[in-house]
Amino acid sequence: MKKLKEMETIIKKSRFIGIRYEVENKDEVDEILLTLKKEHKKARHIPYAYKIGSLEKKSDDKEPSGTAGSPIHNIIIRNNLDNTLIVVIRYFGGIKLGSGGLIRAYSEAANSVVKTS
């Protein structure tokens, strides 16, 4: 596993930390997610998406259905990435973003780590 890029953005007082990894298998993904959950105990949500060959998965991590994992996954697919895990860590800033705002925020965070790595 290799961390390729990390970017942070603030949207309406919430911190979104996007991280892109190069991964070879699901065990690496599980290890990364476990480590991030330990490092970011105060984060409200840690949604992610990955694609390793034909194996694909996305998680909203308690955000409303389809507002976090799917936008991240769409960035992976749109950029034809493989062996890629993108995680976006959210520290809630007290202002609800709504479904459209969440989709935009997670898309922006995922896209920024892809474009700069």
Residue 82 three-state SS: coil
Assigned architecture for domain 2-115: 2-Layer Sandwich (3.30)
% the chain with pLDDT above 70: 100
The pTM of this model reads: 0.95
Token pair in block for residue 35: 């480590």
The conformation of residue 25, written as its DSSP 8-state character, comes to S
Q: Residue 102: which pLDDT band, with cuts at 50, 70 and 90?
A: very high
Alpha-carbon separation of residue 1 from 20, 29, 77, 85 (angstroms): 10, 8, 20, 10
